[in-house]
Amino acid sequence: MIQLLPDEAICRVSLSSEAAPRRDFELVESADSLPRLEGAAVVVSGGRGMDGTEGFELLARIASSLGAALGGSLPTVDAGWVPVARQIGQSGKFVASRLYFAVGISGTPQHLAGVSPATRIVALNKDPEAAIFDVAEVGVVGDWREILPLLAQRLESGPSAD
């Protein structure tokens, strides 16, 4: 409730305790149980194309299976999907991992400034023209909604005979 008091440039704000808890906080907590970006051998990273915390929960599962760190682009940090300590790029962290799995990341210079040129990039993006494919060693054109659940399940089921 916002109540304007007469003749005063002050407003009184009452906060209701009935608001639903935000799922973002769950992700921030689970992301923080994963390895730090600094010194990580493998980084699993998401961009604006993840479209919310649901996709990042899948990325966190994949990162956990691989013992990898979780990262994100600037827009994902701005949106509250990823903790700021996990932002990669010009105004975030620099990673020099052996492998960088970039999902839903377009590959802007500001983002790639945070990834070592020696790092091998595997990119998943639904746009075949995305700039990330210019620097990726392996590129997969597709929708993460179709691919990541299968990948997470496969990694969690462990090595199989086939």
Ligand X SMILES: Cc1cc2nc3c(=O)[nH]c(=O)nc-3n(C[C@H](O)[C@H](O)[C@H](O)COP(=O)(O)OP(=O)(O)OC[C@H]3O[C@@H](n4cnc5c(N)ncnc54)[C@H](O)[C@@H]3O)c2cc1C
**What part of residues 141-160 is at the interface with ligand X (CB under 6 A)?**
143-145
| Interface with ligand X: number of residues (CB under 6 A) | 26
**What part of residues 52-111 is at the interface with ligand X (CB under 6 A)?**
73-75, 87, 89-92, 104-106, 108, 110-111
Cross-strand bridge partners of residue 140: 124
Cross-strand bridge partners of residue 12: 3
Q: Which stretch binds ligand X (CB under 6 A): 5-13, 25-33, 137-145, 151-159?
A: 137-145
**What part of residues 27-46 is at the interface with ligand X (CB under 6 A)?**
none
Question: Cβ of residue 42: shortest distance to ligand X, in angstroms?
Answer: 19
Contact call for residue 23 and ligand X (CB under 6 A): no
Q: Give CA–CA dist 113/135, Å, rounded.
A: 12
Quick one: 64 or 106, whose CB is closer to ligand X? Answer: 106
Quick one: 67 or 142, whose CB is closer to ligand X? Answer: 142
Q: Give CA–CA dist 59/65, Å, rounded.
A: 10
Quick one: 64 or 92, whose CB is closer to ligand X? Answer: 92
Q: Which residues are CB-contacts of 146 (< 8 A; sequence separation ≥ 6)? A: none
Q: Give CA–CA dist 71/58, Å, rounded.
A: 13
Question: Cβ of residue 89: shortest distance to ligand X, in angstroms?
Answer: 2
Q: Show the beta-strand stretches assigned E in 30-111.
A: 42-46, 69-72, 99-103
**For tokens 């993460």, what's the residue?**
144
**For tokens 């990669």, what's the residue?**
88
Residues that bind ligand X (CB under 6 A): 47-49, 73-75, 87, 89-92, 104-106, 108, 110-111, 114, 124-127, 130, 143-145
